[in-house]
Amino acid sequence: MKKIVVIGPESTGKSTLCEELAEHYGTVWCPEYAREYLLRQGTDYTYHDLAAIARGQLALETETHANANGSLYFVDTDLYVMKVWYEVAFGHCPSWILKEITRSSCDLYLLCNIDLPWAHDSLREYPDLKMRQRLFNMYKDIMVNSGRPWVEIGGTERQRLHNAIGSIDTFLQTK
C-alpha cells in the first residue's frame, strides 16, 4: 500500500486536497491531528503540547493505515511538519522526532505551494507573506534534502487536484 503525504505551510489547501484525492482514488485519508488537539486544548500551546500532537499524529496515521483500502492512502501532514513547527516556535526540534522521521516511510510527498490566498482560521498563525515564504522554503529544503520522492503542487484548488492526480498517476505507473 502506497502512502502519500501532503505537506506545506498552513492555508495551502492540504486538507482539502487530501479529502479530494481520497475520494478520487476511493480510499481514506488521515487528517491533521493538531487541528483536533488545538480545538480541544486551545491555541496557547507549549513545547510539551507539540510532543502530544506529534504522538497523536503518529497514532492517527497508524489507525488510518489499518483502515485503508485499495492501493494507497493519504496523510495530511506528518512529522516533517512537526519538525518545522518546533523549529519556528521553539528554535529546535526534539531528537525523538528526528529519529522517528528517519524510521518513517512515505512513497510520495505532495508539497503545497503558498500561491493560494491565506484564509483566516482561529488556529492559523502566519498570514504574513514573508513568513509564509520562509515556511515554504523550509519545507522545500526538507524535500530536496530528504532523498524522498516529492512533487510541488500549486495553482487554484481545482488545478492542485488536477496536478496532484497527474503526479500520483505518473508515480504509480513507474512503481
pLDDT at 127 over 80: no
Q: Which three cell numbers stand for residue 133?
A: 515564504
pLDDT at 78 over 90: yes
Place of cell 524522498: 148
Share above pLDDT 90 across residues of the chain, in percent, rounded to a whole number? 86
For residue 118, the model assigns a pLDDT of 81
CB atoms within 10 A of CB 125: 12
Interior/surface letters 53-88, b for 16+ CB within 10 angstroms, e for the rest: bbeebbebbeebeeebeeebbbbbbbbbbbbbbbee
Looking at every residue in the chain, the average pLDDT score rounds to 94
Q: Minimal CA–CA distance to 77: which of 93, 54, 48, 99?
A: 54
CB atoms within 10 A of CB 48: 8
CB 86 within 8 A of CB 50: yes
Mean pLDDT of 6-25: 95
* Domains delineated in the chain: 2-174 (3.40.50.300)
